[in-house]
Every structure is written in structure tokens, then in C-alpha cells.
Amino acid sequence: MLNVPQRTGQGLTDGGSAGGWLDRLPADACPAGDMDDVRQGLPPSAERHDRGPGNRCPESGAAGAAASQVVTAVHLFLAAAEFIGLHHTEERLGDPARRIAAAHVEIADSGTYRHTAEELVFGARVAWRNASRCIGRLYWHSLSVRDRRDVTDAEGVAEASADHLREATRDGRIRAVITVLAPDEPGRPGPRIWNEQLIRYAGYPRPDGGVTGDPRNAGLTALARRLGWPGGPGTPFDVLPLVIQGVDDKPRWFALPDDAVLEVPLAHPEYTWWRGLGLRWHAVPALANMCLEIGGICYPAAPFNGWYMGTEIGARNLADADRYDLLPHIAARLGLDTRNDRSLWKDRALVELNRSVLHSFDRAGVTVTDHHTESRRFLDHLGREERKGRSVGADWSWIVPPISGSATPVFHRTYEEVERHPAYVHHPAARARACGEEAAPV
């Protein structure tokens, strides 16, 4: 097994992932400082959510408002009415007045309201459609929605998460899935999944200052150890346990069952020595710590996934200097001149690493897309939405792939960043928890 020295670096390297699904759009790297450092990295969607009408999420607020703070009933009324109106309009359900009135009665009586099953499905799918940093939105309408809003305890969340992975994996024929767990309610926050993704690899600090595994997850690895996790074998690819906080509970760790985690060993179509590096990656990218916000209601635990775009693994997770930092090692094995950047050794190593990912996933029969195909599909998505009279918000710096950008059609145009709801939103406290910050408020 390859044990490559890691650099712990501050923050991500330049250029965001252009992943085909939101989970491949990583949050800012775990900060070395305090919560102010986390807030400085808030994406535009989170900033909009923090100050927008209808925001009920107790973790929002640029100044770090207390978890118990909620917006006024008037704001929730407005957010509910806006969402219900959108649902009825797009699904051609007729006049929404009666449903809006019923939601308003619920809010007046209890301070919240419950979405119907149909509203939940619609809201989760449209939140994907609204994700301005996601290139893979062509298939937003096919998202499979698992309604688990009755689950509030940590054991139930762990079980639902494992079932989510099994359903999404399907022996490698990856399916886009979201599992929606209990929402926040007045005075009672819903459950939280501390992990950034359902499947992440541990990061073990070494005496030499490096990290064995994924440096991004060193903080959460340390927290899991403090909670009682004995640790894995100590390889660069030990699957982290889930750290889950149920309603009225403290965080606890839960090991993922083996049958819920499909991994792909990485080989190369030409270099026989490549397999000996011991590289691998998991098949399902399932983001776990973003809030699903629908009509002013916050679902803080709603893990969701699509399938990987190869560059997310080969050009970011394995290549970023503050992640696995494999380019120098790959270049050396390829015999490239690494003394000067003008030899383009990084570029050549990067291409071979990405070839390895696509080749290996294809050989294993696991769904993966490439950045050229996904770029064309994104333009198809733009065309479909425009024909329906809907503008598409997009962040150019995230839509353009991290390699060969100008060779893809998404490079040669501009986009408007439009913030819409429903939405998937990052909160500062969720980012802190993913870094293993035990003091992060709930």
C-alpha cells in the first residue's frame, strides 16, 4: 500500500472542482483557526440563506447567532407560500390557495409546518436544479427521494445512511438518491451527520508532520478517536465511521457496514506497475452535512449523491497538494523531469492519473462520467431549462472542469449566478463539525 508523505496546507488549491454532483463541490478546507475562519469561506448560497426571508435554520447567521434563534412566523409564511406556489405552478396542480392556507394554520399553531410527500420530492429535486456550482443537473428530475422524516435518533440515522449507500450503489450502477431525515423544529433541532460525506477516508497525523490518508479529514478522524473509535488498519484509505448526533443527544460514532461501501482499486490502461501503488477510491459521493432548505424548513441531515466525474477523484481528491498530493510521486514513477514546471510534469502526471480513474471505474463496471461528456450535458441542461422559460444560475469557476477547461464547451461562455430556493446550503457550524470541532453549536 502506498504511503505517500502528505502536506497539510492551508485551504484548497486554486480552482474549484467542477463535479457532476454537488457533493463533489467541496466546502472550504478545515481551518486551522476559529469559527471566523470558517465563515469567511461561506459559499454565496449560504450567505443568501443566512439573511433571506423564510430562513428557519438555527445554525445560520453571519455573526454566529444562537442555535435557538428562528425567524418570525411572517417570514416562514412567506417562504411557505412561495414554495407551495412554485410547486403548484410547475406541477400544474391548480390554485395553491387552499394548501397555503393550511400551511399557515400549521405555522400559527406550532411554529412550523409539514411538507406533503409530493412537496418533499419536488423540493429536493428542484434544490438540485438550483445548485449553481453543479455541472450535472441534467438529471435533476430523476433524483430518488427517500422520506425518512420520522428518524430522529443516531442509530436510526446510521441505519438510514447505510441503506442509502446500498440503494445508491446497486453493484456499481450508481443512482442519484437523497435520504431526508427529521427537520429542525422550534426549540428542537433535527439530527446532524458530522461527516462531510457518508464515505470519507481517515487522516492520521504522523510524527514527521505529515498525514497518512486524507489530510482533509484529520480533524474528524481525531474526533472519532476521542469518541471511542479504535481506528482502522492505518492505511491511506481507511473508511471513517459516521459521526452522528441524534435529537437531544451527543455525537457518537458508527462504523459503516462493509456491504454499504463499494471501492474501486485503481489501475492504468498501460502501466502495469500502477496497481502496485495501492490506490483506490469509493464509488458513491454522498454529501452528508449540507442543509436541504425547502419553503423555509431546514432538513439538516439529508445525505444525497449522484455519481462521480472522474476529475473529482483524479484532479482533486488524489492530486490536490493539501489532499493526497500524488502528482510528484506519479511523475517520478513516470520518469518525468520535475526540476522545472516548464517541463509540464504536473500536467502529464495529472492526465495519467485521470486516465487511471476512468479506466478503473469502467473495468469495475462502476458508473463514472468524464469532464468532456458532462460539459456537453450541462449545455443540454441549459437548453432544456431555457426552453421552459427558466434561467439557469451557474458559477463559471466551478462549472469549468479542473483540467482541460478550454477544451470543453462550458469554458467558452459566461453564466449568471442566480440564487434560488429550494436549495442545498452549507452552514458554518456544519463546516466546523466536519473538521471535528466538538464545540460547534447545534
Q: What is the DSSP string of 267-304?
A: --SS-GGGGGG--EEES--EE-S-EEEETTEEES---E
DSSP 8-state class, residue 408: S
- For residues 134 and 374, give the distance between their C-alpha atoms in angstroms, rounded to a whole number: 11
- For residues 228 and 69, give the distance between their C-alpha atoms in angstroms, rounded to a whole number: 32
> Hey, which residues does 253 pair with through a beta bridge?
243
Q: How many CB atoms lie within 10 A of CB 328?
A: 16
CA atoms within 13 A on the CB side of 90: 17
Q: What is the 3-state secondary structure (H, E, C) of 180-191?
A: ECCCCECCECCC
Are 146 and 159 spatial neighbours (Cβ–Cβ below 8 Å)? Answer: no
> Hey, which residues does 298 pair with through a beta bridge?
293
- For residues 420 and 6, give the distance between their C-alpha atoms in angstroms, rounded to a whole number: 39
Using DSSP, state whether 201 is helix, strand or coil: strand
CA 240 to chain centre: 16
Residue in the block written with cell 429550494: 422
Residue in the block written with cell 446497486: 170
* Active site positions, annotated: 134, 137, 307, 312
- For residues 440 and 39, give the distance between their C-alpha atoms in angstroms, rounded to a whole number: 13
- For residues 296 and 110, give the distance between their C-alpha atoms in angstroms, rounded to a whole number: 14
- For residues 206 and 391, give the distance between their C-alpha atoms in angstroms, rounded to a whole number: 49
Residue in the block written with cell 453543479: 134
Q: How many CB atoms lie within 10 A of CB 47?
A: 16
DSSP 8-state class, residue 21: S
